[in-house]
């Protein structure tokens, strides 16, 4: 599968990026702009996710899951990126789009429509028919037999109809509020209502308390299979029952996607938590940015909805199936067909931590954890042990995403109740996790913990935990630093690294960061940790330029970096310059990438690839050869402007030589070797799936790591 080019075909010139080129030329002619389009690059990642749903080698229920993930990704793309673009052009309630923005939105719209069309083709022509062959039937009304229709009618009368409230539109009943991404119906009626008036349009909202996927009794399924229907299909089949005495001329399901970014003036509000709680109430009714209707929706009804929500026609999506495809994920929880899923996988537990005193072990040796191949439980145990240990005086931790249920958070509450000094920096502005974080902040405060909401205007995205323990009359520092969130679910699904350490120098610097975040004073100079927004960007640029200087001196320069996104222009320009100086650069970028690799006069020595597999690639790893010093840094930050300048982020070094080798051997080399789930980026912005060459064995980085990481032999 290929996707649209991410840049226009024009001639551009760029300033000299490299001292090596400065002596011969003042400009370097380059075909096309030096940066790829951010939005199209982000959509290209969704294409790669969708390709997983098309892959016939992947189990069927997992293919359905990928379809739901692609749909969810697209929802967020509209809720955040498209909403942001539109907000830039909105003045006093009027939309005034400059030509460049109009062109960008049009190009993005073309790709979005193509992705959506392909999603439903894969659903209707591949996934659902194949599931049916395996005994999993998603039945529309025309597919149901008489017994099944009778059961659905009874279900509608018993469970659905009592909760429905059709709204006939008239001056006393204006268009009702439509919640973000909710399932609704627009209905056109003939004749007059019970009061003799010609109300022609009604709106019906599907209750959110009802499941979207409904399982029929097993005795109604043939050959021991499982039959299901969608709530939308149940309502479709009986919508005429709701309008006694009126004829339903036409109807369609519809869904509206709204701007979901929260906005509060952090410098004006006196209590950020209270302000956010208020904003959460209105998030569901932000500016409408997309309208989805059924494929057979009459044009005049679609236009009525577009006018009502003030949505441009190019953001109308007429789909061949449920408008809320992401809710098909409920089906995955209702069936037990293990042969249609990925084989079960249980993360390994480092054997050296299976028994004994955790703190005593850390005093002797650091522990490097590679999730989800290794369990996250040692991190949970680290905090829980500290909570129960009478010698522990204090625990400090940052929280960005942790979910509604978390043993780790419960341990922090326990520690506070035990009388320990517990300080938690909770990021309330973590998008889509605000409500969970507010709830945890409230519980922590009631338990006696000190809760801080970070720095005004800067999200606290760093992943840090610190334990202070009294030992032999002195305070000993223990720390955890990670690339991913303290979240019980994502730690099983996202690839991340974490370091448990008793290294005094690093742990004391972690403590300095906590003091900086709580006191808002200028942080002390840090020797080991790179902290954004103060030093992280500068240090990354310095490390890149150092490799360039080494290459100019005639020695090998080498950079390998793995991250979620690469969008910061200053970093990209530094990489271009290093490439021109002869540095060999490999970039493993899961999502959006604005850098153009392999372009003559710009980036001949840069290769970019993306890995999309069973787990979401989430770790950030930065390797600089540095004349055989082999500097390895792990970080919470991507190479994006927001991470480098508008967030609290930390990059931390791996100092132990064996652990450096392990990060390279597990976090980088397998991904450069992968020829199964690897997509390579061309200079024109098009990704191509890497294929196994003749006489070459197939190799999957994730499969390799599942088999090898964390085994006793490797420990």
In terms of domains, do 357 and 308 share one? no
pLDDT of amino acid 169: 86
User: HSE of 423 in the Cβ direction (CA atoms, 13 Å)?
Assistant: 18
Q: Parallel, antiparallel, or unpaired for β 647-653 and 136-138?
A: unpaired
| Contacts by 149-156, CB closer than 8 A, 24 or more apart | 149/237, 151/216, 151/217, 151/220, 152/216, 152/229, 152/234, 152/237, 153/237, 153/238, 155/214, 155/234, 156/234, 156/235, 156/237, 156/238, 156/241
pLDDT of amino acid 193: 65
In terms of domains, do 23 and 44 share one? no
pLDDT of amino acid 710: 56
pLDDT of amino acid 31: 63
In terms of domains, do 563 and 648 share one? yes
**Closest residue by Cα to residue 531 from 686, 398, 429, 657:** 398
CA-based angle 86:91:97, to the nearest 5?
A: 45
Structural domain containing residue 616? 11-33+531-708
pLDDT of amino acid 105: 84
In terms of domains, do 28 and 175 share one? no
- Whole-number Å distance between alpha carbons of 683 and 596: 5
In terms of domains, do 327 and 451 share one? no
Say whether 252 sits in a helix, a strand or coil.
Answer: strand
List of E strands, 286-328: 288-294, 316-319
pLDDT of amino acid 191: 72
pLDDT of amino acid 1: 46
In terms of domains, do 315 and 423 share one? no
CB 536 within 8 A of CB 644: yes
What is the tens place of the pLDDT at every residue in 313-364? 999 999 999 999 999 999 999 998 999 999 999 999 988 888 778 999 999 9
Number of domains in the chain: 3
Task: Based on the residue annotation, tell me whether 371 is a catalytic residue of this protein.
Answer: no
Q: Which domain CATH number covers 186?
A: 3.30.1840.10
Question: Which residues of the chain register pLDDT less than 70?
Answer: 1-31, 89-98, 171-172, 192-198, 262-284, 429-433, 710-715
In terms of domains, do 538 and 517 share one? no
Q: Parallel, antiparallel, or unpaired for β 474-482 and 463-471?
A: antiparallel
CB 254 within 8 A of CB 185: yes
Q: In the listed set 496, 525, 554, which residue is the last one of a domain according to the structure? A: 525
Annotated binding site for ATP: 73, 494, 590, 618
In terms of domains, do 207 and 311 share one? yes
Read off the tokens for 423.
């300080």
DSSP state of 156: I
What is the tens place of the pLDDT at every residue in 596-634? 999 999 999 999 999 999 999 999 999 999 999 999 999
- Whole-number Å distance between alpha carbons of 72 and 507: 38
pLDDT of amino acid 95: 54
* Catalytic residue (one of 461, 480, 487, 537): 461
In terms of domains, do 486 and 581 share one? no
pLDDT of amino acid 10: 30
**Closest residue by Cα to residue 230 from 251, 212, 255, 208:** 212
Annotated binding site for Mg(2+): 401, 431
Q: In the listed set 525, 541, 566, which residue is the last one of a domain according to the structure? A: 525
């Amino acid at each position: 599968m290929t996707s649209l080019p991410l840049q226009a075909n024009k001639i551009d010139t760029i300033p000299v990026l490299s001292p090596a080129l400065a002596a011969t030329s003042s400009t370097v002619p380059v075909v096309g702009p030096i940066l790829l389009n951010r939005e199209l690059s982000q959509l290209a990642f969704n294409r790669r996710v969708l390709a997983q749903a098309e892959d016939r080698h992947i189990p069927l229920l997992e293919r359905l899951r990928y379809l739901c993930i692609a749909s969810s990704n697209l929802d967020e793309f509209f809720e955040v990126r498209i909403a942001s673009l539109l907000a830039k052009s909105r003045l006093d309630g009027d939309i005034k789009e400059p030509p460049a923005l109009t062109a960008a939105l049009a190009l993005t719209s073309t790709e979005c429509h193509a992705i959506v069309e392909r999603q439903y083709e894969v659903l209707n022509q591949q996934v659902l028919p194949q599931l049916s062959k395996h005994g999993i039937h998603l039945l529309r009304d025309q597919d149901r037999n008489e017994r099944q229709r009778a059961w659905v009618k009874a279900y509608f009368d018993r469970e659905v109809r009592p909760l429905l409230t059709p709204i006939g539109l008239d001056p006393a009943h204006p268009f009702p509020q439509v919640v973000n991404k909710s399932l609704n119906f627009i209905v056109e009626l003939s004749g007059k209502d019970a009061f003799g008036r010609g109300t022609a349009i009604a709106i019906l909202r599907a209750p959110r308390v009802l499941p979207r996927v409904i399982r029929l009794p097993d005795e109604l399924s043939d050959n021991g299979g499982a039959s299901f229907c969608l709530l939308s299909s149940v309502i479709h089949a009986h919508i005429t029952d709701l309008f006694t005495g009126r004829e339903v001329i036409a109807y369609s399901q519809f869904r509206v996607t709204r701007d979901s970014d929260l906005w509060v003036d952090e410098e004006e509000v006196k209590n950020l938590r209270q302000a956010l709680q208020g904003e959460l109430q209105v998030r569901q009714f932000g500016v409408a940015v997309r309208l989805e209707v059924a494929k057979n929706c009459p044009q005049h009804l679609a236009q009525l909805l577009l006018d009502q929500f003030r949505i441009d026609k190019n953001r109308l999506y007429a789909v061949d199936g449920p408008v809320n495809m992401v809710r098909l994920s409920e089906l995955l929880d209702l069936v037990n067909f293990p042969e249609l899923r990925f084989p079960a996988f249980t993360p390994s537990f480092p054997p050296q931590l299976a028994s004994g005193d955790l703190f005593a072990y850390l005093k002797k040796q650091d522990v490097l954890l590679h999730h989800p191949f290794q369990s996250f439980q040692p991190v949970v145990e680290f905090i829980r042990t500290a909570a129960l240990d009478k010698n522990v005086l204090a625990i400090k931790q940052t929280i960005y995403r942790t979910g509604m249920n978390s043993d780790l958070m419960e341990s922090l509450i326990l520690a506070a109740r035990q009388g320990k000094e517990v300080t938690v920096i909770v990021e309330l502005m973590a998008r889509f996790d605000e409500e969970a974080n507010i709830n945890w902040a409230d519980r922590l405060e009631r338990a006696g913990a000190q809760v801080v909401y970070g720095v005004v205007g800067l999200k606290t995205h760093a992943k840090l935990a610190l334990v202070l323990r009294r030992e032999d009359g002195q305070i000993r520092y223990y720390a955890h630093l990670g690339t991913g969130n303290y979240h019980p679910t994502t730690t099983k699904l996202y690839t991340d690294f974490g370091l448990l350490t008793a290294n005094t120098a690093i742990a004391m610097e972690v403590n300095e960061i906590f003091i900086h975040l709580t006191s808002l004073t200028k942080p002390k100079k840090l020797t080991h940790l790179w902290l954004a927004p103060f030093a992280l960007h500068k240090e990354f640029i310095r490390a890149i330029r150092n490799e360039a200087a080494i290459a100019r001196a005639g020695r090998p320069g080498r950079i390998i970096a793995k991250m979620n996104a690469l969008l910061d222009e200053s970093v990209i320009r530094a990489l271009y310059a290093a490439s021109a100086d002869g540095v060999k650069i490999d970039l493993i970028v899961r999502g959006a990438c604005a850098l153009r690799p392999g372009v003559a006069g710009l980036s001949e020595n840069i290769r970019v690839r993306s890995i999309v597999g069973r787990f979401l690639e989430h770790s950030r790893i930065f390797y600089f050869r540095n004349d055989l010093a082999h500097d390895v840094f792990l970080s919470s930050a991507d190479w994006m402007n927001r991470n480098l300048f508008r967030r609290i982020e930390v990059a931390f070094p791996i100092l132990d030589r064996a652990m450096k080798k392990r990060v390279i051997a597990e976090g980088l080399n397998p991904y450069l070797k992968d020829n199964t789930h690897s997509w390579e980026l061309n200079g024109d912005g098009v990704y191509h799936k890497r294929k196994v060459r003749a006489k070459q064995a197939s190799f999957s980085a994730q499969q390799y790591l599942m088999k090898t990481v964390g085994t006793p032999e490797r420990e």
